[in-house]
Structure 1
Amino acid sequence: MNIRPLFVVAAFAALVGCANDPAPIEQLRLSDRAVEQAKAVGATEEVTEMALAQTKLVEAHADLAANANKQARMQAEQAELDARLAEAKVLTAKSQEQLSQVDIRVNRLRKQVRDAQ
């Protein structure tokens, strides 16, 4: 019995198995949740990163349907990151607005204290 043909078949099967990326189902779930979370804090498509996240998520689902798993995974990962950035930008803007309001109140109180003296 010649082992060489068995070795070639086994090596080929291993290479084919490595070439097929698994479906990125969990990554798509994470990306879907990240987009929903960004929406929940107020991110809209007016935030550039949110628009990108939604576009990439649609592309990731289309790639998954076309069995382009590697491309689907990359698109889903990028969508998740874009959604998280959009969320961070919205939360930062809200924090800055609150800080501005507090600053206005502090200045008003300082003026009142000065005027009372």
Structure 2
Amino acid sequence: MKRRVLALAATAFAAILATSTPAHAETITQTHGPLSIGGYCAQQINSSAWIGLYELHGLKCYTSAPTGGLQFVGWGSPQAACEHLTPGYTITSYARAYSDAITCTGTR
């Protein structure tokens, strides 16, 4: 009788473990400013870039213009920028933020 009870208890415990829900994924939301985006631009778009702006029409990379101000040096990918700025996370969304920053949301 004790063996049956123990066997049933072991089977019930195994069933509980098999149907338990996995741990929830960690989700983060981070906002990265133009200088952080510039790091992505320098590594992935143009080595002279030092600032990146997520503007109305996309992510643009800039360097200093010889006459002052900024000079456009290439387009970046918002998805790739988020992946670069939040390593170890799978990017689920991104959005334009204040001052042409980018807000990245990801899970792991």
Tell me the TM-score normalised to structure 2 length. 0.34
Higher helix share: 1
Tell me the TM-score normalised to structure 1 length. 0.32
- Which protein shows a greater Rg? 1
Higher strand share: 2
